[in-house]
Each structure stands twice: as structure tokens, then as C-alpha cells.
Amino acid sequence: MQIGYASGNLGKSILWASFESFLLFYLVAIAGFSAWLAGGVLAAAMIWDGLADLAVAYGTDRHGKANALARLVLVGAPLGAIGFWLTFAPATGHAWPAIVAAILVCRLGYTLCDIGHNTLLVRVATGSRAASLVSGFRLIFSSIGGALVGIAAARLFGMRDVAAQREAFGICAAIAGALYLVTLLIAVGATRRLPAPSPVSAAAAAPGKTGRHLLRSLWRQPGYRLLLGLIAVQAGLLPAFNRALPFFGTAVRGDPAWAGYALATITLAQSLSLPLWMAASRHVGPARLLAAAHLLALVAMASMILLSFLHDEGWSRMSLVLLGTAQAGMNLAIWALLALSIQSRSPGQMRLEALPVGLFLAVLKCASGLGSSVIAVLVGSFRGWSYVAGGAIILPMMGCLAILTLLRRDPGAKRPPPAARTRISQ
């Protein structure tokens, strides 16, 4: 059941990695978009996606039935798969309205699946052992999906025949959409017999309270408020290097196809390092793991600066492996903190299942959209992509320092409460 549920992350990570790492470059260098238009479209799509997450999560908690989460996935998976294929399909051509419409359809489907699938984590991850296993399985499948995207991108960006390249993009997008649909259906099937929490809707638990009141009640929780700040910085600044990979490869290596191999190396390092992070999580709280991961990311980005000057293949691989290892720790720790914030409610508090996840995802995606727009601004403002490559290194380093500062200043983040530590350790 846990592996079946976690397999949904494979399809989701294929779409997410494509949007995060390569779609901006595809729109600018292949589809003929201006950098400003491409950046604006991606930022608007991500922000709209995040706000939709919040609305869907609130509606699910307030009016949803026991099978509401599965229904979200069953409706969203086909929309996401079809929209993703149409984004790259040769039939769409270079008509930007058709591509923008396909992106919005894909993001709508992704929104529904994201709320449904991620909220099911609260039901699957019951107890510390299950939580550690499920989180590890999720990230392993995510790493596999990211590696597949990297390998495909390396082949696609390396093609010189434009017509053949467009056709290959369409074929790969169709395969990716099918994987997205199939893996999410497997996840729904694997969790179909899990008992839902007590049917306590927001209206029953808090008569007369609106969505604004419920959001305020979440905001008043210091641990959850800190979590939102952490994910805003982590999603906005830390993935800048991944987002600029093709531009970085062109500026530093003279080859955009290098980005595909780089992403495959990063994701392989993520999957191989996960057992170490999972073992460490049994002895160290997620906040400390998060700090350690960001310190490691600082080292990785510093070594990336050496790579820019030395052009050494050994340094290149070592830097990418360190970055992938750091990203694995970041993702594991931040999702552990989210699960802690939801499961550590006192018995007297109402149990909102989807809304905390929805607000978390809304902040994550809005920050991600703004982060993508920063890279687009760099691309549109400078003729040479060396400035984009510099920003791809400087922005993650700024994000690491900001997160370490947040963790250091918040006393509650240094050591979770004893009850929470016993209940879940990721």
C-alpha cells in the first residue's frame, strides 16, 4: 500500500521537473516565446495553481466526503496528462495562445491531483516507522521521475533537426502524460481502503467561521507559520539552479543538452542519499536535518563556482552530487515538518486535513512561480546568459542563508516537542 501510494510521485515529479527545469528554456529557445512572455505565463500559471490549491483544499475540508481525495485525483489526472501532452505536441505548433491554454489545463489537473495525493499522506503516514518509509518511498519515486526527465531532455536538446525535435518532444510528452495518469491511478487504488478521519467538517467544528477565520487559526500556530516562511524561501530561491540548468549549460559548457545529464545526476544523488537521511531522521529532528541540508547546499554551490572557472568534469559531478544530496535532505525534512504540524493538534482542536496542505502548496507554488519569473527577467534583461548562470548560483546561496537564519531565530524549530518526536520521525 505504501509503495503503491508513493508511486504517484513518479508521474507528478515528471511534470514538476519539466516545468521547473526545462519549460522556460523550451518556450524561449524552441517555441519562440519572448523571455518576458514565457516568464509571465509560467509565473501566472504557478500562482493561479497555488491559489486554486487553497480553494480546493478549503472546499474539500468543508464539504468533502470520505472519498473526496480520490475523486480529486480521478478528475485531475486525465486533465494533467492531456494538458502536458498538448503543451509540447507538434499540432500545437508555435501558436502561443494554444500553448498557454494547454499549460493552464495541465496546471488545473495538477492542482486537483496535488491536493488529493499529498493530503493522503496524512492517512498513510501513521506512526514514526510508516512516516519514514512513506516519505522515503515518495522521494525515491520523485528522483526516478526527475532522472527520466533529465535523460529525455539531454537527448531532445541535443537534436539538430528542428522538425524531428518537435516530433520527439510530442512523443516524450505523451509518454510522460501516460505515466502521470497511470501512477496516480495506482496510488488511488492502493489507498482506497484506508479509513478517512472522523467526518468533522469545518462548518461542524467551527460554526459560523469562514475560510478567512480558518486561515487565521492556522497562521496563529508558530510552528506552521515558520513552516510557511521556510517553504516560501526554499521554493522561491533554492531551485534557481535547476530552473536555469539549460541556460547554465549553454553559458558555461556551450551545450544545453548538458542540463539533462546534470538533472539526471542530481536526481540519482537524491535517491542514493535518501537512506542516509532516513537513518539520520531517527535520531535528529527534521528542523536540524533541514539546517544540515542547507549547509550542504551552500558547499555545493560554492564548488559550482569553481566549476564555472575550471571546467573540470570531476568538479562538475561532485558539485551536482552534493547538490542532489542536499535537495534530498531538504525535501524529506520540509515534508516531515508539514506532517508534524498537522498531526500534532491537541484533541480539543478541529482536525483540518486538506486546508493546511493546501495553504502549504499555495505558498510553495506562488513562491516557485515568482522564482521562475526572476530567471525569466535575467534572461530577458541580458543578451549573454552568463548573468543567468551567475544568478543560478547566487540565488540558492541567498536562500540557504535565509533559511538558516530563520531556523536559528526560532527557538521552537530547534527541537520539536517530545510528543511530536515520538509520533513521527522523518
CA distance 402 to 11: 31
CB 134 within 8 A of CB 425: no
Poorest-pLDDT segment among 39-53, 150-164, 186-200? 186-200
Q: What is the pLDDT of residue 122?
A: 72
Residue 208 falls in which region: left (phi positive, over 0), alpha (psi -120 to 50) or beta: left
Q: What percent of the chain has pLDDT over 70?
A: 82
416 compared with 341, residue with greater pLDDT: 341
247 compared with 306, residue with greater pLDDT: 247
Q: What is the pLDDT of residue 312?
A: 59
Please write down the HEC assignment for all residues of the chain. Answer: CHHHHHCHHHHHHHHHHHHHHHHHHHHHHHCCCCHHHHHHHHHHHHHHHHHHHHHHHHHHHHHCCCCHHHHHHHHHHHHHHHHHHHHHCHHHCCCHHHHHHHHHHHHHHHHHHHHHHHHHHHHHCCCHHHHHHHHHHHHHHHHHHHHHHHHHHHHHHCCCCHHHHHHHHHHHHHHHHHHHHHHHHHHHHHCCCCCCCCCCCHHHHCCCCCHHHHHHHHHCCHHHHHHHHHHHHHHHCCCHHHHCHHHHHHHHHCCCCHHHHHHHHHHHHHHHHHHHHHHHHCCCCHHHHHHHHHHHHHHHHHHHHHHHHHCCHHHHHHHHHHHHHHHHHHHHHHHHHHHHHHHCCCCCCCCCCHHHHHHHHHHHHHHHHHHHHHHHHHHHHCCCCHHHHHHHHHHHHHHHHHHHHHHHHCHHHHCCCHHHHHHCCC
418 compared with 358, residue with greater pLDDT: 358
pLDDT band at 383 (very low <50, low <70, confident <90, very high): low
Q: Which residues contact 369 (CB under 8 A, 6 or more apart)?
A: 42, 43, 44, 45, 46, 47, 49, 50
pLDDT band at 182 (very low <50, low <70, confident <90, very high): very high
CB 70 within 8 A of CB 138: no
pLDDT tens-digit readout, 252-281: 777 888 888 888 899 889 888 988 888 888
pLDDT band at 315 (very low <50, low <70, confident <90, very high): low
CB atoms within 10 A of CB 157: 23
CB atoms within 10 A of CB 160: 6
Closest to 228 measured CA to CA, from 82, 355, 39, 84: 355
How far, in whole angstroms, is CA 43 from its chain's centroid? 15
Q: What is the pLDDT of residue 376?
A: 87
Q: Which residues contact 148 (CB under 8 A, 6 or more apart)?
A: 14, 176
CA distance 66 to 131: 22
CA distance 23 to 31: 10
pLDDT tens-digit readout, 111-154: 889 888 887 877 786 655 666 678 778 888 998 998 899 999 98
Q: What is the CA radius of gyration of the chain?
A: 21
User: What pTM did the predictor assign?
Assistant: 0.76
Query: Max alpha carbon distance in the chain (Å)?
Result: 64
Q: What is the pLDDT of residue 424?
A: 35
CA distance 43 to 47: 6
Most confident of 7-11, 157-161, 388-392: 7-11
Q: What is the pLDDT of residue 78?
A: 96
CA distance 212 to 195: 29
Phi, psi torsion values for 163, nearest 5 degrees:
-65, -45
CA distance 116 to 121: 9
Mean pLDDT, residues 409-413: 54
pLDDT band at 207 (very low <50, low <70, confident <90, very high): very low
As a residue count, the chain comes to: 426
